[in-house]
Structure 1
């Protein structure tokens, strides 16, 4: 039995898999996303570690046997400052945080952000570790002085579970890793004014950090000490791996809090407008080109809450409003930190257009669902999608919205069949890291494939051009 853990932004989930890759049980526990000030989003590292401990312990009790592996993945980006023992020196600053927006604007104006993208293939955004670290260095230097590691989420759990201080190449990719050598790029640190903080970056271990469960943690979990524990890749590439997206040109769409569109590439091109992330993925010379838009299902959540409705009615609303939402359109940039893919604009904001007294709730829901699908196509176009698309995430529970994605993308989408695809990807990576790789094709399950409707695809092709025009006009306004 293998346990995969995915420590997300608001939920920690753990899934138990048998020796054929079948899901035995999934347990989850909510964690708090703190909002101490407008635009600030933080998490308690101790609470996240406790949530991982709890879900693993519950799985062990439910299954009745200890795991042969605990494989960790989790949210990326942000900064999780910890001391030498992995204890927090301040609350973690989330990837959703906007406090470093002024630092980012300064770097954009000075050309620092552009030069870093040309070097690493990664854009900066307010919740990216580079501007967050610079903000901390300017505003809370005493915190960094007593910090041993500016860590990532899963790596905090790894250190507390095993004592290993390390990160994997995927998390380290953003923002300081040289994509070819997989070592930190000193010139990028220097450009960001962070050379004196280089010691805060954890060692990079390929393919991912490995360790043994400490006795005191094993006692809390009710299992023997020494069980192998691995950390990585983080949730985006872990989901791609779990969804079976490994061939260059193929894509993975994650319809979650973040709308993540990612494509496997084997050639790195950092020309053109800086956009998206370039994450180490598997062997050297292969990457994930990720376009994680700041808001996915969170935009729909906000609309439903505002109109006083629940997610169970989404299919009903999509049936009640025709394609095009009776002339109502939406730009889905609801994050207070703006947007990071397929363009970077800290001032990006959401809006509805075409509203009249005859607009109803169904039109509002359809318009935001169409807008998020358009955003996915925008991201995939920028990432270089050429092949098939595997889709996963909470948003695909709506069959009508899933069909809408296929229609807007104009290509079939296959639904990843396993629950907790990120945790599954972490298990696959973890087994390979400890020298027990499995043939993922033997663990594969039957998939559902949703074909696009050609009539609606033609309609949405025109709608997408209108969307792109609206975005470009809006960007001029955001910049001013």
Structure 2
């Protein structure tokens, strides 16, 4: 039995996987995000550990027999977060998250200080990445920066709590702007540009390799046997790719979680930072990937649910009843509730409803929100195509994959086939469990198979044609509002 732990932004998810590749059980515990100032986004790592313990208790209670057979644990997690530790491994300040935009000025400073940044890291300096966050701390909290003994990514802080070792993997480390992505190793040049050194970084292992062993006292407390291996694990999107079997060049998927990601596997390092496309290491040796990222995706729907006081099921049911006519009265929605990455690299991009009238009822606005996210993904696909990547079929993972209506809208907007797989909503937790299996000796070809297809959404040419002028107005609206 193999355990996957996915440390997300809004939830910690746990998943049990058996030797046959079947999901035995899942559990989760919610997390909150703090926004103490505009553009800031933080979490207390102690909340991650508390939520993990709560999810462990639930999963252990529901599946006691299977739980006791866990042989290995895999980790997946939100990327780019900065967990700063002191000499005694104490957390020095709240973790600065991936969707934090405070370090926009430091991005320009990093680009100037590290002229070879794009060639080495394969990415533009963006506020979401880890390196500019440390420059911000160095400038605005110098007393904290002076005490920094180690910098860990979120899932790697969780690993420290599990086994006492400071370890990361290339897929997650590639999102720091400190990794030589082609060489899959830390870059002393990029670290020095931030006033840091290799000594402050965790050691690196591949995602499918063992990184440590669960602490004996924790194994006893959790009712597990000795020598439970901890896999290297992966950043959330690379782990999601492992979960749906996207391991060969050209394989790709869309993740609809808090953020929205379009991910395509490559067999070589293929950077194209001019298009704000990310080029990272994949979660298997000798594999890389390109990725476009929008900062708010399913979180837009959650925000709208809170705004109108209705749950997702109710809103989606209203859409199904209004499907043929709702587009005619729907406003446009810019989904930039936390700024945007691909293709704009704009932490100040605003979320907008535009074109509201007396006919703009709740269903019309729900359509606008889901459509706005789909259009953001279309922008990401355009950026990948500009970088030389072409896809005609993408899998859909994450919580948003539960909605057939949304999946069809994405297929129509992007004009690509969208596949939904069994267990696709598990996202990174399933990939983390598969990485645990690999670390315990599993064979890649057997472990990383494609889950069964449960739905195939083919683009409707008529709906694509109706959406095309709205997508053009969506893009024009951003240009007019933001002066781009």
- Name the TM-score, length of structure 1 as normaliser: 0.91
* Structure 2 unpaired stretches of 5+: none
- Between 1:279-288 and 1:86-95, the stretch displaced more is 279-288
State whether structure 2 residue 476 is matched by structure 1 residue 469.
Answer: yes
State whether structure 2 residue 82 is matched by structure 1 residue 76.
Answer: no
State whether structure 2 residue 453 is matched by structure 1 residue 451.
Answer: no
CA shift, 1:86, in A, is 4.3
Secondary structure in 1 matching 2:391: coil
For residues 114-133 of structure 1, the aligned pairs below 5 Å read 116-133=117-134
Secondary structure in 2 matching 1:273: helix
CA shift, 1:120, in A, is 1.9
Contact 2:245 2:450 (8 Å CA) reproduced: no
Contact 1:86 1:159 (8 Å CA) reproduced: no
State whether structure 2 residue 395 is matched by structure 1 residue 414.
Answer: no
- Between 1:200-209 and 1:20-29, the stretch displaced more is 200-209
Give the distance between the partners of 2:294 and 2:341, measured in 1 at CA: 6
State whether structure 2 residue 223 is matched by structure 1 residue 222.
Answer: yes
CA shift, 1:447, in A, is 3.0
Secondary structure in 1 matching 2:9: coil
- Between 1:60-69 and 1:394-403, the stretch displaced more is 60-69
Secondary structure in 2 matching 1:345: coil
CA shift, 1:454, in A, is 1.9
- 2:181 maps to 179
Q: 2:402 aligns with which of 391, 397, 402?
A: 397
- Between 1:386-395 and 1:315-324, the stretch displaced more is 315-324
- Between 1:9-18 and 1:43-52, the stretch displaced more is 43-52
Contact 2:114 2:189 (8 Å CA) reproduced: no
- 1:362 maps to 363
Contact 2:421 2:451 (8 Å CA) reproduced: no
Deviations 1:258-312 (A, max 9, x none): 0111111234443462413221014555312111211001122222322333212
- 2:95 maps to 92
Give the distance between the partners of 2:300 and 2:441, measured in 1 at CA: 42
Give the distance between the partners of 1:359 and 1:447, measured in 2 at CA: 34
Contact 2:343 2:383 (8 Å CA) reproduced: yes
- 2:147 maps to 146
Give me the CA root mean square deviation: 2.4
Residues 36, 467 of structure 1: CA spacing in aligned structure 2 closer, same or farther, 3 A cutoff? closer
For residues 215-254 of structure 1, the aligned pairs below 5 Å read 215-254=216-255
- Number of residue pairs the alignment of both structures matches: 471
Deviations 1:401-441 (A, max 9, x none): 11111111212111121151311111222322343335036
- 1:303 maps to 304
Contact 1:235 1:422 (8 Å CA) reproduced: yes
Give the distance between the partners of 2:115 and 2:52, measured in 1 at CA: 37
Contact 1:315 1:399 (8 Å CA) reproduced: no
State whether structure 2 residue 70 is matched by structure 1 residue 67.
Answer: yes
Contact 1:158 1:230 (8 Å CA) reproduced: no
Give the distance between the partners of 2:130 and 2:427, measured in 1 at CA: 25
Secondary structure in 1 matching 2:237: helix
- 2:58 maps to 58
Give the distance between the partners of 1:394 and 1:283, measured in 2 at CA: 24
Give the distance between the partners of 1:130 and 1:107, measured in 2 at CA: 11
Secondary structure in 2 matching 1:324: helix
- 2:2 maps to 2
- 1:279 maps to 280
Deviations 1:116-155 (A, max 9, x none): 2343222332232111100111122332333322101111
CA shift, 1:369, in A, is 1.1
State whether structure 2 residue 52 is matched by structure 1 residue 45.
Answer: no
CA shift, 1:111, in A, is 4.9
Secondary structure in 2 matching 1:316: helix
Structure 1 segments, 4+ long, off by >4 Å, are 110-115, 282-285
Give the distance between the partners of 1:437 and 1:96, measured in 2 at CA: 35
- 1:388 maps to 393
* Structure 1 unpaired stretches of 5+: none
Give the distance between the partners of 2:450 and 2:359, measured in 1 at CA: 51
Contact 1:264 1:288 (8 Å CA) reproduced: yes
CA shift, 1:44, in A, is 1.5
Q: 1:423 aligns with which of 426, 429, 450?
A: 429
Give the distance between the partners of 1:386 and 1:465, measured in 2 at CA: 21
- 2:16 maps to 16
For residues 434-449 of structure 1, the aligned pairs below 5 Å read 434-437=440-443, 439-440=446-447, 444-449=451-456
- 2:156 maps to 155
